[in-house]
Chains A and B, each alone.
Chain A
């Protein structure tokens, strides 16, 4: 089984729409599993109009807990914490979203009043639609440790993919270049990078390529809305060819894409002959050949 992860650096360039479209096109002939590791804003199921089949809590984080019956209010823990995750004037209070669960406070507590415990930080949701399954992670609001949640989602997606003998696992990744992005990339075979011809998207593309390079990942570039600015489009193509990166597709801007999205449909299904749909179809089969 091959594993492709869709990333972009910049948000909103079309990662989820593209992952969904490629998935649904290839599902007609191959077995495809989809994973959504944008755990902060998991949208893949919305693009697909997929139905929730099951959901479960994920415990992929650890936090400090204070036993106030034991706590002597010495406030030592507040100074020890390198993440500014403890506050309070009369007694220490753990700021859960900032707590990394490192345990430094527990070590330094003179009365052993602090314990590090695993906590639920998100959910694992299984969705399905015609011919496809989606394994999606959802971080609980204001929670942390999204990287570890991504690890859980990927592990589960691989297991599901193996069970249904999938040929391909497509992961719709998060924006950015940090912890959850690196976790999404881990052990994948190929990174598909989506960008658009704007200075911001190009800048973020270069940053995500640095990360992919750091982990020696093979990669290819897709330019979405390729015709909205020809000059920047040329810059991206120059950048790709100078560095020896494959340019996999140039998808034209197509008003049928937002229209389909607002209708709760996928453009490649609702408008199969639209210019963008034809390019995406070609791209999908290229992804299968990678």
Chain B
């Protein structure tokens, strides 16, 4: 099942035109604590005096700004090019309809071609029109935001509900951050759950990835998937086990970690203060800096900062 990727693909994954280190936070399964870990590490690094960019690339369900109780500012639209048809030039040949693989173009009798249904902005129709009857329209598929609070900048991508173009929003978000990478000492990227192309695009350029999981059969299963993905792209990584005191499955996590030659760098246990801070919208590293989870997360942030230095 595991296909070996061509080296060019792995190179393009790791390519980044700046030296600021990028840390990815992912995990396969949903709800294991990816965002909680990402925001706390980012805040901890910022509180150490580093200039930090935190990127919420879970564009379907972005929550980092909520956990930080920050508003969404500096919105930019993410748009795609959609075809519009000039009825004076369209000769009704139907070439565009033939090449549209989403079957979204229609030619009503004796009329001009119409775009009905979804369009992913591939522009194939533009390439085949013999009469230049197609001109460029724009469709908004989502937004990116940037909110700056002292030395922590939070970048968020948001897909427009009802649309399907998550990948385009992730790519635009990454571009916005990477274009400004020189302003930061470190970039922390939080991904969506899963192992699909949006997770790969979110992690693109990451020097190191933290895979968050929990010791349940589900956590183990999805950790195996995400580590397999990281194997394919030859990404350096380590594991954080959240809710490590759940009964049973820790042995399973260790076995999966070993299979992928990955070490567990930190363990967080279920903790009342962690939960309290989560629902209060104040980070545990700031609300309860002396608590066990805060110490563990601060430690992790310090290790990340040292690797950078």
Contacts and interface: CB of A to CB of B under 8 A. Distances in A.
Interface of A: 9-13, 16, 40-41, 43, 46-47, 62, 80, 82-84, 87-89, 93, 95-98, 100-104, 107-108, 116, 139-144, 146-147, 174-179, 181-182, 197-200, 203-204, 207-208, 210-211, 214-215, 228-229, 231-232, 258-259, 261-264
B63 A146 contact: no
B228 A10 contact: no
Interface in B82-116: 99, 101
Given A46-B218, A93-B6, A204-B61, A107 B124 contact: yes
B162 A215 contact: yes
B271 to A, nearest CB: 13
A199 B281 contact: yes
A139 B196 contact: yes
A130 B148 CA distance: 54
B66 interface: yes
B194 A103 contact: no
B12 interface: yes
Contacts of B35: 200
- CB-CB nearest 8 A-B residue pairs: A12-B31, A11-B30, A262-B248, A176-B60, A40-B194, A102-B122, A214-B162, A210-B161
Interface of B: 1-2, 6, 8-9, 11-12, 28-32, 35, 58-61, 63, 66-67, 80-81, 99, 101, 120-124, 127-128, 159, 161-167, 171, 192-198, 200-201, 215-218, 221-222, 225, 228-229, 232-233, 243, 246-249, 275, 278-279, 281
Contacts of B29: 11-12, 41, 43
Contacts of A88: 8
Contacts of B12: 87, 95
Given A177-B159, A178-B166, A262-B248, A11 B218 contact: no
24 contacts: A9-B61, A10-B31, A10-B61, A10-B63, A11-B30, A40-B196, A41-B221, A82-B80, A82-B121, A104-B124, A141-B1, A141-B2, A141-B195, A141-B232, A175-B194, A177-B60, A177-B161, A199-B67, A200-B63, A211-B162, A262-B247, A262-B249, A263-B247, A263-B248
Given A139-B196, A175-B193, A177-B61, A198 B8 contact: no
A102 B124 contact: yes
Contacts of B6: 93
A210 B162 contact: yes
Contacts of A46: 217-218, 221
A144 B196 contact: yes
B79 to A, nearest CB: 12
A178 B215 contact: no
Q: Interface on chain A toward B: helix, strand, loop, or mixed SS? A: loop
A83 B31 contact: no
B61 A207 contact: yes
B8 to A, nearest CB: 4
Contacts of B121: 82
A82 B123 contact: yes
Nearest to A14: B31
B278 A198 contact: yes
A98 B194 contact: no
B20 to A, nearest CB: 21
B218 to A, nearest CB: 4
